Amino acid sequence: MRLARQLLTESILLSVAGGVLGALLAWASLNFLTSLLARQLPGGVAIHLDARILAFALLLALATGLVFGMAPVLQLLHGNLHDRLKQGGRQSGSAAGGRRLRHTLVMGEIAISLVLLAAAGLLLRSMMQLTNVDKGFDSEHVLTMDVRPSPIRYADPRKEIIYLQAMTDRVNAIPGVQSAGLVYELPLGGGGTNGSLSIEGRLGEQPNADKQYVGGNYFQAMRIPLLKGRLFAASDTPDSPKVVIINQAFARQFFPNQDPIGKRIDVSWGDTGWCEVIGVVGNVKQANLAAEERPSTFMLYAQNAPILQFLGVNMVVRTSLEPMSTVQAIRSQIQQIDSNQPVAQVKAMDEVIAESLAPRRAPMWLFGAFSAIALFLAAIGIYGVLSYFVVQRRQEIGVRMALGAQRASVLKLILLQGARLIAIGLGIGLVGAFAAAKTLTSFLFGVKPTDLPTFIGVSLVLAGLALAACAVPALRATRVDPLVVLRNE
């Protein structure tokens, strides 16, 4: 019992020390974790360590020390003292049960590592597919900003229209600016509006579509392609007949095998009235990159002044320079018209797109971090098991070499021992990975949960790193001096 207490004390001290270090690592990673999950957390919720979490972590560490410290204790208490003394203590702890337990733990570490690596690999491939998807616009060299006019100073809708037009004209004239426009909701900016509308001649139908308000040279600034008809022009004024532009998805769904130019629709928003379709543009990803293209309508700010006070206004500016380098010039031109006009949320369009991917990027980083930790632990585990294997069979290895065994044969012996554990762990891990991958379906885009290249790739990576961990004890075994071993005998 004194020996048992000694072993348990050592195990508990190790586990508690590990728990303390883990708590310090968790505290150090809080800022990174908070920034990573900022888009997933409700407003006002903060991630922090408190006494309950620390107590739970330390109790878990203590329990780990007790549970896993019991294995060598039980082995010691039930061992055969006569055999230990007869063998000179060399085979202490080498019973078949202890060996099976060590091997099982290492195979379990490898299997868990493969499951986490497969999840991270699937999410990474999904992210790569998303970043390569056709957005419907060109985000390069595009600057965005919120330029919402004050509803108090511009209570008269027509006065607001004149102000917005003057703003876009001044920005368009800045050197380095190729085109500037206005839009109600930025594509991939986290917002959007949709609702019912009416199509002339189709009584009883209530189609649904996304609704946007634009102004200036919006389509040119975003390089949204015109497929048919024309874009908004200077002749489209508040006093001219109302016009609307639709996207390709709208034309295909509501005007199949027809020419939509000249058709009339009512977006049923405010006092819009019937609008003539003057153009068809390409589909644009509005909500997120993974969403299907939806029917969309684009109305002109200038022709819908009465409802502008209830809308936001974002300016998009295409430049021939680095986008952020033009911010000061744009801000100066806007404030020359109205010195009280705030310019907020200044971002490059690429940054807006990156933020839209944050909900998918966070799980990828978390799975990647967990799989890296699990991989590190698996490498340590297999290294420890094989090192112990070399120590326990040092006499055998020395005798083999004394009888003529080559170092390559010894190296092969150790590597085969490790390869057997790796192969079984990978087999178990693949089964678990295929089963667990189905729970990631909602996070994947353009990648199947059973994507074979991903599973093969992560398996090869894990096998390579595990074999690298086997190499150190294997090489150490080849350096056993048979003369020293036999002399000790």
pLDDT value of position 338: 87
Please, which pLDDT band fits residue 155 given cuts at 50, 70 and 90?
confident
b/e code 121-160 from CB counts within 10 Å (16+ = b): bbbbbbbeebeeeebbbebebbbbbbbbbeeeebeebeeb
Please, which pLDDT band fits residue 393 given cuts at 50, 70 and 90?
confident
List, for residues 263-280, the tens digit of each pLDDT value: 999 887 656 688 999 999
Residue type, 204: G
Please enumerate in sequence order all residues whose Cβ is within 8 A of that of 187, keeping only pairs 6 or more positions apart, or say none: 135, 136, 137, 222, 284, 285, 286
The overall average pLDDT reported for the chain is 85
219 pLDDT above the threshold of 90: yes
d(CA 239, CA 235): 10
Burial (CB count within 10 angstroms: exposed 0-12, middle 13-18, buried 19+), residue 114 = buried
Span 47-64, average pLDDT: 87
Of residues 429 and 154, the one with the higher pLDDT is: 429
Residue type, 334: I
C-beta separation of 348 from 143 below 8 A:
yes
pLDDT value of position 328: 92
Least confident of 123-127, 148-152, 264-268, 483-487: 483-487
pLDDT value of position 82: 65
Angle at 33 between CA 29 and CA 38, to 5 degrees: 150
pLDDT value of position 358: 81
Pairing of strands 296-300, 208-216: parallel
93 pLDDT above the threshold of 60: no
Please, which pLDDT band fits residue 89 given cuts at 50, 70 and 90?
very low
Q: Could you tell me the pTM of the whole model?
A: 0.74
d(CA 4, CA 74): 8
Burial (CB count within 10 angstroms: exposed 0-12, middle 13-18, buried 19+), residue 82 = exposed
d(CA 150, CA 130): 37
Provide the total of helices (H) and of strands (E) in the chain, helices listed first: 15, 12
pLDDT value of position 29: 84
List, for residues 445-466, the tens digit of each pLDDT value: 888 998 999 999 999 999 998 8
Alpha-helix runs per DSSP H in 156-223: 157-172, 218-222
* % of the chain with per-residue pLDDT over 90: 34
Burial (CB count within 10 angstroms: exposed 0-12, middle 13-18, buried 19+), residue 115 = buried
Please, which pLDDT band fits residue 92 given cuts at 50, 70 and 90?
very low
d(CA 393, CA 412): 14
Burial (CB count within 10 angstroms: exposed 0-12, middle 13-18, buried 19+), residue 59 = exposed
pLDDT value of position 140: 93
Span 351-361, average pLDDT: 86
pLDDT value of position 460: 94
d(CA 377, CA 383): 10
C-beta separation of 216 from 177 below 8 A:
no
pLDDT value of position 101: 79
In eight-state DSSP terms, residue 448 is -
- Which structure tokens are listed for 323? 């986008």
- From the list 113, 216, 117, the residue with the least C-alpha distance to 164 is 216
Span 112-132, average pLDDT: 90
d(CA 466, CA 378): 8
List, for residues 402-445, the tens digit of each pLDDT value: 888 888 888 888 889 889 999 999 999 999 999 988 888 888 88
- Which structure tokens are listed for 212? 């946007």
d(CA 355, CA 109): 35
79 pLDDT above the threshold of 70: no
